[in-house]
Amino acid sequence: MKFLADSMLGRLAKWLRIMGYDTRYQSFYTKEDFGPLVQDKRTLLSRHAKTTARYPGSLMLRSEHVQGQLYQIRTEFQLEPDRLRWFTRCLICNVLLKKTQAEHLRLSVPDYVLYENPSQIRVCPSCGRHFWPGSHRERMIRQLENWGF
Ligand SMILES: [Zn+2]
């Protein structure tokens, strides 16, 4: 399932990406942007009934909070959250992360990370950011668990 989050839904887009869902998000769209993306089988998510009414299959989110929005999306599309897909996507670019060569890591990853779990480090092929398990990720996992995922 691929999503298209409108410009008001930056936080939601981040959490959908954390959970591994392909989520297109921009802080600004022109009027012409939505059409082609929706035709590309992206499900438009918006808080505005006027916007969702224009695109069949899109979802009007009732809650203004991320937790409520995620619940509604899960219920509406009968999504089964899959922990194996969590943290597989760049949170900024939305592309799938890749394994990387150890020699590239020395320059871009702190030594303790390299030492503790080198096989868990992933790189974004688009922006070059590195991601690895750590306290930041554990906080996000706890947040998702607190939300019931
Ligand atoms: Zn990236």
What is the tens place of the pLDDT at every residue in 20-49? 999 999 999 998 999 999 988 999 999 999
Round to whole Å and give the CA distance between 43 and 57.
7
Phi (first) and psi of residue 54, to 5 degrees: -75, -20
DSSP 54-66: HSTT-EE---SSH
C-alpha 131 – ligand 1 centre gap (Å)? 10
CA of 130 to the centre of ligand 1 (A): 8
- Asked whether the predicted pLDDT for residue 55 surpasses 90, the reply is yes
For residue 148, the model assigns a pLDDT of: 92
Residues 30 and 65 in one domain: yes
pLDDT at 140: 96
Measured in angstroms, how far is the CA atom of residue 100 from the centroid of ligand 1? 14
- What separation in Å is there between the alpha carbon of 123 and the centre of ligand 1? 8
| Total domains present in the chain | 2
Is pLDDT at 107 greater than 80 in this prediction?
Answer: no
- Give me the domain span that covers residue 121: 98-146
| The pLDDT value given to residue 28 | 95
Same domain assignment for residues 6 and 78? yes
Q: Are residues 58 and 114 in the same domain?
A: no
